[in-house]
Amino acid sequence: MSKIKMTTPLVEMDGDEMTRIIWQQIKAIVLDPFIDLKTEYFDLGLPNRDATDDQVTKDAAIRTRELGVAVKCATITPNAQRMDEYKLKKLWPSPNATIRAYLDGTVFRAPIMVSCIKPLVSSWEKPITIARHAYGDIYGGREQLVPADTRAELVLTGPDGQESRTLLHTFSGAGVVMGMHNTDASIISFARSCMKHALDVGQDLWFAAKDTISKTYDHRFKDLFAEVFAAEFADAFQQAGITYFYTLIDDAVARVMRSPGGMIWACKNYDGDVMSDMLASACGSLAMMTSVLVAPDGSVEYEAAHGTVTRHYYRHLKGEKTSTNPMATLLAWTGALKKRAELDQLPELAAFTDRLEAAALATIEAGVVTGDLKNLVQLDKVNVASTEDFLRAIAARLA
């Protein structure tokens, strides 16, 4: 059988621990036998990030912007314990944060839905995608404990040195204070990424904030979204038959819980952090959650929403067979290949990604699952398979 050809390589970012093992299994079992795979390889495993002083992460981000499509394996963001374990030079930053900052991208997360795993919200029939603005707000905030009898002010110093002061609170007793920010440029990039992604996938876009209470901060988000939509996307949305809709965050939550799903829900940083985990839990687990980073210039990076599955990796090192769910990593590969097929006009490659995704879902629906799904699937007969055997069951459906 001749292999499917590619013309432009993907940026391939390898990772850490169990997901690094799964990465190689996916390539060996369900990709390489069928595709003449073209990638530019970057090893983002923690030892190589340390050896290159994290330059490899920056190089991968630069190449992603140049080639347009990347696929990334889960990686370790080191803490003090990891620094000791890997004998690191320093605590390197999150690769995801580095790549996201360089591409100025927005993270879109959506559940992988199969017929035999019912969402806890019975009305949900289609996946809901969470778009999280992963910049600023409380995550870039500065906070301080405040002693009693203290006056807290917001002070702005202009380019001419002039100050303007706004009283926050006069503390008669002890308390806390926090300052946070965002930028017009970041909000506009977020809006553009959300609207481009909505057009790419043909789904309605919702955005929610709390402008009735936050009449300047949240209202700025609302206004900039409206301006970007009117100036750049209104006609395209109308032609695509999709809509942009703004509402308050509390109303959005109520509407989402009653909806059939099938929309992109754009959220500010904290809201997106919370709601993406709620969505993952309601639909199964993070192992059944895709993640796509979309930049305003159209560059995209696909990855799993979960981490490196450390506990399974330590068992793997002891020679034990593990039953680690590869679905999110597999769909990161199919997502990237599908995007490459779209950009390069490769219908055979696009058709293969559809077949591979369908085969993966059909394998679960036939009762062949990894251990994490055993108690989630609603089937009479379930066979818990190792990761390798699960992937081989998928490959058998492609033969």
Model confidence at 351: pLDDT above 90: yes
- Other C-beta atoms within 10 Å of 397: how many? 15
In the chain, where the domains are located: 1-109+300-355, 118-136+183-283, 140-181
- pLDDT, residue 207, reads 98
Matching CATH topology for 1-109+300-355 and 118-136+183-283? no
Model confidence at 273: pLDDT above 90: no
What does the pLDDT average to over 12-19?
98
Model confidence at 1: pLDDT above 80: no
What does the pLDDT average to over 140-157?
95
Please give the structure tokens belonging to residue 286: 């993070």
What does the pLDDT average to over 90-113?
91
Number of residues assigned to the chain? 399
pLDDT digits 0-9 by tens, 296-323: 888 999 999 899 999 999 999 999 999 9
| 204 close to 261: Cβ distance less than 8 angstroms | no
- Other C-beta atoms within 10 Å of 185: how many? 12
CATH of 1-109+300-355, one of 3.30.260.10, 3.40.50.620, 3.90.480.20, 3.40.718.10: 3.40.718.10
| 267 close to 133: Cβ distance less than 8 angstroms | yes
Burial (CB count within 10 angstroms: exposed 0-12, middle 13-18, buried 19+), residue 342: middle
| 323 close to 295: Cβ distance less than 8 angstroms | no
What is the pLDDT of the chain when averaged over all its residues? 95
Please give the residue that has the higher pLDDT: either 386 or 141: 386
* Cα(65)–Cα(267) distance, integer angstroms: 25
Burial (CB count within 10 angstroms: exposed 0-12, middle 13-18, buried 19+), residue 210: middle
The CATH code of the domain at 118-136+183-283 is 3.90.190
Model confidence at 396: pLDDT above 80: yes
Q: Which residues make beta-bridge pairs with 384?
A: 369
Model confidence at 68: pLDDT above 90: yes
Quote the strand ranges of 297-353, DSSP E.
300-304
Side chain identity at 103, as an amino acid letter?
L
| 141 close to 178: Cβ distance less than 8 angstroms | yes
> Collapsing DSSP states into helix, strand and coil, what is residue 333?
helix
Side chain identity at 69, as an amino acid letter?
V
What does the pLDDT average to over 161-172?
97
- Other C-beta atoms within 10 Å of 281: how many? 14
Token look-up 């030892």 returns 47
| 107 close to 100: Cβ distance less than 8 angstroms | yes
Residue 67: pLDDT band with limits 50, 70, 90: very high
- pLDDT, residue 227, reads 98
Token look-up 């879902």 returns 361
End-to-end CA distance of the chain: 10
Model confidence at 276: pLDDT above 80: yes
Please give the residue that has the higher pLDDT: either 88 or 277: 88
- pLDDT, residue 116, reads 94
pLDDT digits 0-9 by tens, 104-145: 889 999 999 999 999 999 999 999 999 999 788 988 889 999
What does the pLDDT average to over 361-365?
98
Burial (CB count within 10 angstroms: exposed 0-12, middle 13-18, buried 19+), residue 369: buried
